[in-house]
């Protein structure tokens, strides 16, 4: 996982330059970038086949149609409004693989269905990748911190999650009966959120960004063009600008894929990331609904449990509120059996008297 991510991030510029250079030897007149569109057609055909296979073999058909429909619609909107050049479609398979590797690391048996968690950390990795490109790796090529690419990375991760978890599980024929637990519980959700590493991470980042913004060390736009990397001196101190040229973010700019494309502002990009994350996290809730080993819940689906490394199935890996709910479930089951036994005895008594 780490090796793949570092290779993808550190070799990003070299790979981009390779795509735009003629191939050596007998292929000297062909640029790899010209093969991107045919490759996309092949990948799209394979994706459609995978979706159809999931619909035929697995029981969550309406969920597959719904969430893949949202994904395809969002991809069409990206193509129409947010794409600078077609080669940026490489973000989709790139971060689909990142998501698949995160699943392999965090949920190797595909039992926990950590969709929200995987999407969260894939998005964080994508943001770090783009930030590194803007500040250092490809600073002469970028005029702004690319929230459009943040979104493309999240879309790619969502596709990877739906492909992996869409195939991992019982088929419609082999699926066992559900165990009857609640799909949603406000108590579970709130306690899961409060104990999550993700929430703490978000709060820490927000505090840091707020402090940097209040101090003036981070600003959206300069009054005039600033050097590559977005770092310039202002009143004797260093300031980091999210765009090098004023007026690019939150507006339309000239593109290659289409004559005009829209550059997301930080607010627009942040809201789009949050909304997309929430929508595709719900895929995990639906997916867990059809697990043969029981229904999941939003609290542990979306967020880290702070003791997840201690073993998901051990007593040490079960939080206090989970143990309490398991205890309540056991007490409810005992009461149910006692009621059934009492009813049976009463029925026997009435039957004996009638005879």
Has residue 197 got a pLDDT over 90? no
| pLDDT, the chain, mean | 78
Would you list the domain boundaries of the chain? 2-306, 316-340
| Structure-model confidence comparison of residues 345 and 136, the more confident one | 136
Instruction: State percent of the chain over pLDDT 90.
Output: 46
Give the tens place of pLDDT for each residue, 265-295: 999 999 999 999 999 998 888 877 765 333 3
Has residue 342 got a pLDDT over 60? no
Burial 97-121 (b: 16+ CB within 10 A, else e): bbbbbbbeeebeebbbbbbbbbbbb
| Structure-model confidence comparison of residues 94 and 15, the more confident one | 94
Give the tens place of pLDDT for each residue, 128-157: 999 999 999 988 888 999 999 999 999 999
Stretch 87-114: mean pLDDT: 91
* Beta pairing, strands 231-234 & 218-219: unpaired
Q: CA 173 → CA 57, 58, 246, 292, distances in Å?
A: 8, 8, 59, 11
| Structure-model confidence comparison of residues 27 and 52, the more confident one | 52
Banded model confidence at residue 17, pLDDT cuts 50, 70, 90: confident
Specify the range with the lowest mean pLDDT, choosing from 53-57, 257-261, 322-326, 333-337. 322-326
Has residue 303 got a pLDDT over 50? no
Phi-psi region of 68 (alpha: psi -120 to 50; beta: other; left: phi over 0): alpha
Q: With 0-12 CB in 10 A as exposed, 13-18 as middle and 19+ as buried, what is 83?
A: buried
Look at the block and give the residue holding tokens 């999941």.
Answer: 296
Give the tens place of pLDDT for each residue, 212-256: 999 999 999 999 999 999 999 888 889 999 999 999 999 999 999
Look at the block and give the residue holding tokens 């300069």.
Answer: 222
């Amino acid at each position: 996982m780490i090796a793949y991510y570092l290779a993808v991030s550190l070799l990003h510029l070299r790979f981009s330059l390779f795509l735009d250079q003629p191939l050596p030897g007998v292929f000297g007149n062909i640029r790899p970038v010209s093969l991107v569109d045919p490759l996309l057609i092949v990948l799209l055909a394979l994706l459609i086949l995978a979706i159809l296979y999931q619909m035929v073999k697995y029981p969550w058909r309406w969920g597959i149609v719904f969430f893949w429909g949202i994904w395809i619609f969002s991809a069409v909107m990206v193509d129409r409004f947010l794409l600078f050049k077609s080669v940026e479609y490489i973000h989709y398979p790139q971060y689909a693989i990142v998501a698949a590797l995160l699943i392999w690391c965090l949920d190797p048996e595909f039992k926990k269905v950590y969709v929200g968690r995987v999407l969260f950390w894939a998005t964080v990795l994508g943001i770090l990748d783009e930030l590194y490109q803007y500040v250092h790796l490809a600073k002469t090529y970028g005029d702004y911190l690319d929230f459009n690419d943040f979104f493309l990375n999240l879309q790619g991760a969502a596709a990877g999650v739906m492909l992996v978890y869409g195939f991992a599980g019982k088929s419609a024929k082999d699926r066992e009966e559900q165990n009857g637990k609640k799909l949603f519980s406000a108590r579970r959700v709130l306690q899961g959120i409060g104990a999550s590493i993700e929430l703490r991470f978000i709060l820490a980042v927000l505090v840091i960004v707020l402090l940097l913004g209040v101090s003036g060390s981070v600003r959206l736009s300069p009054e005039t063009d600033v050097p590559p990397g977005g770092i310039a001196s202002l009143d004797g101190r260093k300031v980091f600008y999210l765009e090098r040229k004023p007026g690019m973010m939150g507006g339309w700019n000239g593109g290659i894929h289409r004559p005009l494309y829209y550059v997301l502002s930080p607010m627009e990009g942040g809201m789009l990331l949050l909304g997309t994350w929430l929508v595709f996290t719900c895929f995990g809730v639906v997916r867990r609904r059809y697990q043969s080993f029981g229904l999941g819940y939003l609290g542990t689906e979306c967020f880290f449990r702070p003791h997840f490394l201690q073993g998901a199935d051990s007593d040490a890996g079960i939080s206090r509120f989970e143990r309490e709910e398991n205890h309540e479930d056991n007490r409810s089951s005992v009461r149910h059996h006692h009621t059934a036994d009492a009813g049976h005895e009463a029925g026997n008594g009435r039957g004996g008297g009638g005879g």
